[in-house]
């Protein structure tokens, strides 16, 4: 009986280890480029990300349906090895925190956002612009 349990545990661990390799290898360099981001509150951005983990503010733009178009002040992002993302974006002096996950194909992502200054939170999706 103990031998069966040991074999089962070894099999489960092996499957988990191999499964995690499907996501392995993500980093900031692989996500550099242009992304369209749609927020659940109606805002959207076209963000240009460099390979060092920074948002290129001069080449990016955001749209608020009530206030119009503006450029972000600054932004940074960090992609972990498992393709999860943590990002900060500042638009018109207002910080926005983002957390999410990229797909294994590295062309789409989704997650949640928080605007601490206004207690606004919601979801977002992002798509790589070809």
| Residue 128 clears pLDDT 70, i.e. is over it | yes
Task: Give the pLDDT confidence of 41-96 residue by residue, as tens digits.
Answer: 999 999 999 999 999 999 999 999 999 999 999 999 999 999 999 999 999 999 99
Q: 23: closest CA among 78, 84, 77?
A: 84
Measure the CA–CA gap between 120 and 114, rounded to whole angstroms.
6
E strand intervals along 40-71:
44-49, 61-64, 68-70
pLDDT at 25: 83
Q: What mean pLDDT is predicted for residues 111-126? A: 97
Alpha carbons within 13 angstroms on the beta-carbon side of residue 22 total 8
The CATH code of the domain at 25-128 is 2.40.128.120
Distances (CA, A) of 71 to 20, 88, 127: 37, 14, 19
Average pLDDT taken over every residue of the chain:
86
Q: Give the other-Cβ count within 10 Å of 85's Cβ.
A: 20
Q: What is the pLDDT of residue 24?
A: 56
Distance CA 44, CA 38 (A): 4
Instruction: Give the residue, 25 or 55, on which the prediction is more confident.
Output: 55
Using 50, 70 and 90 to split pLDDT, how confident is the model at 106?
Answer: confident
pLDDT of residue 16: 39
Task: Give yes or no for residue 17 having a pLDDT over 50.
Answer: no
Q: Which of 118, 112, 117 is nearest to 100 (CA)?
A: 112
């Amino acid at each position: 009986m103990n031998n069966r349990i040991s074999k089962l545990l070894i099999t489960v661990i092996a499957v988990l280890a191999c499964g995690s390799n499907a996501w392995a290898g993500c980093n900031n360099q692989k996500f550099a480029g242009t992304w369209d981001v749609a927020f659940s509150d109606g805002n959207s951005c076209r963000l240009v990300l460099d390979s060092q983990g920074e948002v290129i503010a001069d080449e990016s733009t955001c749209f608020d349906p009530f206030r119009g178009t503006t450029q972000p002040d600054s932004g940074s992002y960090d992609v972990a090895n498992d393709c999860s993302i943590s990002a900060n974006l500042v638009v018109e002096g207002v910080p926005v925190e983002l957390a999410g996950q990229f797909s294994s194909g590295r062309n789409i992502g989704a997650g949640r956002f928080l605007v601490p200054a206004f207690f606004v939170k919601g979801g977002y999706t992002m798509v790589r612009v070809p």
